[in-house]
Structure 1
């Protein structure tokens, strides 16, 4: 199978060289130009430097008035002795969306609605939560402040219940007020990363350089600390000072000695003793990033598992506490609880050497972006993202940008992809698994999602083209594949009924091929042919032969 895959690639590239000549990277760039020209014609591309916005104060006043109107309606219903009701367009019904270039929620009067009644025990909690969030949003707008969804959740955990309910309430409110969440002062924590020649210039004047590992601004670092530490976070001026020092090459985090600075209670000999022990045992001390949620000790199970036996027990003396903890520690190795900590070296390697830059959560504040990229490669998973970086895709096929939303994409990642397309007009090529979830993720980037169909014009990029992995590649390349589960069959049949699949012949044929084959494959199934097959063969082959759907 490997020989067949290489022979096919070699033959196609030989044909391309005979036709145009030059190195493979030049052939890729020429093919990308042609794909981009076709997409411009198909999508009526007009470059945008900055989206025209209404006056911020005027828009803020409009939104506050809309919230007050909703709350006044509730008060009026109560005063008249009627149970208050909120009528919302149903964002879970596929019949409520139209499809042209992307999914679009039908307007009021055309879309069916759901009623959230305070008098109903089934919807009372939802009604209360929506009213609570409306009040928070009104305060945010009045004070010109912002809040992440996670911060909003922790402000009233008892009322909200769980993060999913809060996210659903925010979506309902955005639909009700006809405004994106960032206009309401609510932002979502980003999880996507980007790498390549890209600079984002923010309203504050900060510049995010995506070519530099860890290229986060001082403002982003401060926001991260606020999310992690709340009111105990350091002031922004201190974070900015340290960020400047680290950007200039400083690595030591200890306070520098200077006259007048009081000494602390640290005992230098204790640190030296520990260092000597590390040397004797041959232990390596790993650098730990100052703020890295991916390396949180909670991820490695040890501390939370140590706490599990203790809640609800009333200890009379300190020795009783020590005995209980000691008993649990002695069972760690026998119960397998400590297995999670063994993943630390691998996670540390990925986090510290991660060349991607976290996508900022306040992308609506980008005033200008600069990039020499000829195309954007949109990757489904972080593992494939890191694999491509290790293979040197940015140097071998570049200039290009590499982006991943680490699975199902968050709003910030979708916003960035949309911004890049509208600002640069370069082709956006998606690399996802040949399975129902991979196809759905590609379609969310391209056509939008049902539960955010009211906002698809800000998030969807219909010019995205599916580079791979195509279901037809499974048999053609002899890829390692796994059989479908019952859930896979169910999701595929749902995909086949959706308007963006039924109206697109090439996509429909691929979904049918996947369904009839009954097997799925991951991006890693392509990468296993050789250590750099994705970058050296698969991606160039797909681009040069125009096998993008």
Structure 2
């Protein structure tokens, strides 16, 4: 930890930033570097970004959004067709005429919406962390929600891991509790997918998949989390329903009838009907 602390001190003194990957070259054991950063943040009661150690983001974003980063002006509506979310140290002048923000769990769904011209047709912003979101993606979503004051909707699989990913956006990561407030987006609403969508959106029963033993263990562990007991009870109920029925549903199942069903029917209908869970 001392070596990492020395690097952090040097970065702060010079006013520079380094990625975690840069630090890995100083110590081949990535787990040691990660744990050192967590320990330093906890002991100093600060966020990891305030240590000037940043993640090279894996998230993607597209839609009606412009902002400045240092000497660059980035227009996400013309980013062929999306922009890779990086750590943005000098972001400013965020502007958008979008009506809402959609956070999708998987890159495959993000690409499907991009191919269908969803943002152009619906005047919105779409973001994905490509699975569990990294620090850069969560930080950017929090900033975006605060600066634009737009409603934020989450679109994830109806399974324990999809819900855990959504909870990471809303409440933060259990392994980074010290950083939760700086990275969480408490206003995010769960737009879908739900098991009940099989009936309301004509999804064939064959699209329902059986929960694995791993899914069950994940669900049972999540039900013990305080925020699912007290702050998101409706999410808690959906998780219990999955366990009771022993099934799960993937977002891609909504395209069983036609490829563009998600973009053309499901999302617009759900938002118009306010059919989401807080």
**Shift in Å, 1:172:** 1.6
Q: CA RMSD in A?
A: 1.5
Q: TM-score, with normalisation over the residues of structure 2?
A: 0.93
1:212 matches 2:83: no
Q: Which consecutive unaligned segments of at least 5 residues does structure 2 have?
A: none
CA contact (8 A) 1:472 1:514 kept: no
| CA pair 384-152 structure 1, distance change in 2 beyond 3 A | same
Q: For residue 416 of structure 1, what is the aligned residue in structure 2? A: 140
Larger helix proportion of the pair? 1
Pick the aligned partner of 1:172 from 39, 43, 48. 39
* Structure 1 spans left out of the alignment, 5+ residues: 1-129, 215-354
Q: Cα deviation per residue 1:127-176 (whole Å; 9 max; x = unaligned)?
A: xxx1111111112122222211001101232xxx2x23322221221111
The match for 1:447 is 171
Distance 1:514 1:475 in 2: 15
Give the Cα–Cα distance (whole angstroms) in 2 for the partners of residues 459 and 361 of structure 1. Answer: 13
| CA distance in structure 1 between the partners assigned to 2:137 and 2:100 by the alignment | 16
SS of equivalent residue, structure 1 residue 548:
coil
| Worse-matched range after superposition: 423-432 or 167-176 | 167-176
Q: Matches of 1:164 and 1:471 in 2, distance apart?
A: 38
From 515, 534, 544, the equivalent of 2:243 is 515
- SS where residue 216 of structure 2 aligns? helix
Residue 147 of structure 1 contacts residue 187 of structure 1 at CA under 8 Å; is this kept in 2? yes
Alignment of 1:273-422 (within 5 A): 355-362=81-88, 364-397=89-122, 399-422=123-146
Partner in structure 1 of residue 55 of structure 2: 188
The answer to whether the Cα contact below 8 Å between 2:151 and 2:187 also exists between their aligned partners in 1 is yes
**Whole-angstrom distance in 2 between the partners of 1:472 and 1:165:** 44
TM-score, length of structure 1 as denominator length: 0.48
- Tell me how far apart the structure 2 counterparts of residues 485 and 153 of structure 1 sit (CA, whole Å): 35
Q: Which residue of 2 aligns with 1:32?
A: none
Contact 1:196 1:211 in 2 (8 A): yes
Secondary structure at 2:78's aligned position in 1? coil
Matched, 1:432 2:160: no
Matched, 1:491 2:218: yes
In the alignment, which residue of structure 1 is the partner of 2:186? Answer: 462
**Partner of residue 17, structure 1:** none
Kindly indicate whether residue 10 of structure 2 is the aligned counterpart of residue 144 of structure 1: no
Q: Secondary structure at the match of 1:402?
A: strand
How far did 1:529 drift? 1.8
Aligned equivalents of 1:435 and 1:528: distance in 2?
Answer: 18
Counterpart-to-counterpart distance in 2, 1:510 and 1:193: 28
**Kept in 2: contact 1:191–1:406 (CA 8 A):** yes
Query: Which of the two has higher C-alpha Rg?
Result: 1
Structure 1 runs of 4+ with >6 Å offset: none
Query: Between Structure 1 and Structure 2, which shows a larger proportion of strand residues?
Result: 2
Deviations, residues 408-458 of structure 1 (Å, cap 9, x unaligned): 000111111111111111100000011111000001101112121112221
Query: 1:32-47 to 2 correspondence within 5 Å?
Result: none
Matched residue of 1:467: which SS? Answer: strand
In the alignment, structure 1 residue 155 sits paired with structure 2 residue 26: yes
